[in-house]
Structures are given as structure tokens and as C-alpha cells.
Amino acid sequence: MKRTKLTIGTRGSELAQWQTAWIAQRLQRSFPEVSLETVVIKTTGDKILDSPLSKIGDKGLFTKEIERALLDGTIDLAVHSLKDLPTVVPQGLTIAVVTEREDVHDVFISHPGKKYPSLKEVPRNGAIATGSLRRKCQLLHHRPDIQIVDLRGSLRTRREKLEKSDWDGMVLAKAGVTRLGWTEMISEVFEPDYMLPAVGQGALAVEIRQDDRELLSILMPLNHFPTQQATSSERALLRRLEGGCQIPIGTYGRIVDGTFLLDAIVGSLDGSTIVRGSIKGSPSESESLGRQLAEELVSKGAGKILDEIRKTVKGTIHVGSSGSNV
């Protein structure tokens, strides 16, 4: 390798720092002679914390400033939670690596003073916190009697807010909780048939300049092809549905015994209506299968749901990410 130094761009949260360190450690093992520098970049989504994601739009909320630094050469590579990345990558950039997925499940975390063993034990009119419309939709579908409280901020901020509140609990992605070593907080793990995860949930993505062939070859050993196939399918579905933080979309792709399986839902904001679909086929056709399933969902009524939501949010829908709801 000709280079002696690489600069990595990342967000500043504790989880983002963990994820960047995880990538950096693996690069350092293979290339101990290369100096690695980390640059923390504050994104729009990090700055605006007093509004729900669904109210401020989602096109590159957690990536735009980092991608700008990539394009102008300030950094050489960027580490993202894949679910933060818009489905359309800016011209001149490419996703070089998708890492092996951490656990894709969402989890219920009880208020530590109430210690509910599961969401089922939360009383009627209980308060559950989440910043994700996808989670809100599925929670209300199963428990229309509960109250949803909007929750933003880093994992540590969310944990502190829960502890200081009178809420009954919150819902987070298990991947982030696991990465920070907080698994003792978990009260219940939701199976995908109860709550489908976000597009790309649990996977990391490394983004670089498209013409940086040397860096691409260096990073390739970090790529996990089965995860790349699964998440490419999920992102193709999201792209076709033109969804993001403002639309409750859940999807989960995986390879089982050599067959690619993809499940997805589109739901109304209040969880009263959910359209489900599944598809299977060859892993080599995963991206095409994602588009096919999206079309099936539209034909089954998802198109009507999406139109209604677009009217509700008054045109702030963007083809984008599933949002940084950790």
C-alpha cells in the first residue's frame, strides 16, 4: 500500500465512535504501517434534536456533511450505520463495504424503576418512547392502547431520558445496545414477525470516493457479501417505495439454506392498517426481488397508505434512509 495515512469521517455519538473504532481496528491489523486519523463531523440530524425526524425531512440528515467532506478530500472514508444512508448515493461516491450484520431485532427496554419483563406487561395507556415511525406503527398495531412519546438523541441520551422520566419504557435497535455493552437493559427482544427492522439495520457501511480504487481494494476484505446482498434488496425496496423517516416501512432480507427471503411491511402512521408481503428466490437476484416485493406491496394497498402519509407530511418525503433511530 502506497499510502501512509487515512482519515476517517464519522458522527460524534458514542455509538458512531464505537463503530468507527471497530472498522479502524480491522484496518490497522492488516495495515499496521498506516496511520489512521478520525475526524468527527456534526450532521444536520445531530444539530436538530427538538423536532421529530418525520417533521424535518430525511434526505441525508445524518450523512450530507460527511459526504461533503469525502467529496472535497477532507476525509478518505466514512463509517455509517447503513440505515442512515440514503438509497441514492451522491455522484462521485460509492458504498465500498457492508459489514456482517449485528442482530437485526428491535428490543423493549423497561423503565428501570418499573421492570416490566415485556411490552405485554405494560398497563393500558402506558407511555413508550421511540423516535421511529416504523416502530410506532408496529407498536400501535399490536398495542393500540399505549401512548407513544417521541424520543431523539444518542443512545446514552435516550437512556438518561428514560431514567429521568415517568415513561414505562422505550424501543431501540438491539445492535446499538449490544455494541455499547448494555444488553442487561433489555427486557424483551421482538421477533421480526412482531416488529420488522429498518432497512439495513445492524449493518455498517463504509463510503469512499468512487475513483479511489486503491482504497476500495484495501477495504474489500471487510465486506460481508451475504449482508450486502440482503441489504441491497432492502434498499431497492425502499428506493422503489420512496420511503424514509416519514413512512413506516420495515423489511428484513436474509439467506436461509441457499434461498434468499425478504419480508416487508408498509403501515399507516397510527398502526391501524398494515400491508405485508414476502418473496423468495436466488440470492443473486436479491436486488430485483426487493423491487418486485415493493411492487406487490403497492398493488396490495401500500400505494394508498403512502399517498395519505405524503399528504400528512406535506411533501417532505425524500428518497432516503430509514433514519437514525438507534
Containing 105, the helix (H) or strand (E) segment is none
The CATH architecture one would assign to domain 225-321 is 2-Layer Sandwich (3.30)
Domains 1-101+203-223 and 106-190 share a fold: yes
With a cut of 80, say whether residue 283 has pLDDT above it.
yes
Q: Tally the C-alpha atoms within 13 A of residue 139's C-alpha that lie toward its C-beta.
A: 27
β-sheet bridge partners, residue 95: 207
| Exposure class string for 255-267: b at 16+ Cβ within 10 A, else e | beeeebbbbbbbb
Annotate 249-314 with DSSP letters as a single string. EEEEEEEETTEEEEEEEEE-TTSS-EEEEEEEE-GGGHHHHHHHHHHHHIIIIIHHHHHHHHHHTT
- pLDDT tier, 320 (very low <50, low <70, confident <90, very high otherwise): very low
Among the listed residues 219, 224, 285, 180, the one whose alpha carbon sits nearest the alpha carbon of residue 79: 219
For the chain, the residue count is 326
Question: Please, is 29 exposed, middle or buried when counting C-beta atoms within 10 Å of its C-beta (0-12, 13-18, 19+)?
Answer: exposed
% of the chain with per-residue pLDDT over 90: 80
* Angle at CA of residue 272, ends 267 and 273, nearest 5°: 45
d(CA 281, CA 173): 27
d(CA 40, CA 98): 21
Q: Quick one: pLDDT at residue 246?
A: 64
Strands of the chain (E only): list them.
5-10, 35-40, 77-81, 93-98, 106-110, 127-129, 147-149, 169-173, 188-190, 204-209, 249-256, 259-267, 274-281
Confirm whether 84 is a catalytic residue: yes
Q: Quick one: pLDDT at residue 321?
A: 52
Provide φ and ψ at 263, rounded to 5°. -115, 150
Among the listed residues 125, 121, 107, 112, the one whose alpha carbon sits nearest the alpha carbon of residue 165: 112
pLDDT digits (tens, 9 = 90+) for 75-132: 999 999 999 898 999 999 999 999 999 999 999 999 999 999 999 999 999 999 999 9
- CATH 3.40.190.10 given to domain 1-101+203-223: yes
Residues 6+ apart with CB under 8 A from 258: 283
Mean pLDDT of 153-163: 94
List 46, 58, 76, 84, catalytic entry: 84
Q: Is 93 helix (H, G, I), strand (E, B) or coil?
A: strand
Domain assignments of the chain as residue spans, ordered by start: 1-101+203-223, 106-190, 225-321
d(CA 86, CA 101): 18
With a cut of 80, say whether residue 53 has pLDDT above it.
no
With a cut of 90, say whether residue 58 has pLDDT above it.
no
Q: Is 177 helix (H, G, I), strand (E, B) or coil?
A: helix
Among the listed residues 116, 99, 86, the one whose alpha carbon sits nearest the alpha carbon of residue 19: 99
Q: What is the mean pLDDT of the chain?
A: 91
Largest interatomic CA distance in the chain: 63
The owner of cell 429521568 is: 164
Q: Quick one: pLDDT at residue 290?
A: 98
- pLDDT tier, 318 (very low <50, low <70, confident <90, very high otherwise): very low
Which grid coordinates belong to 250?
Answer: 420495515
Amino acid at residue number 258:
G
The CATH architecture one would assign to domain 106-190 is 3-Layer(aba) Sandwich (3.40)
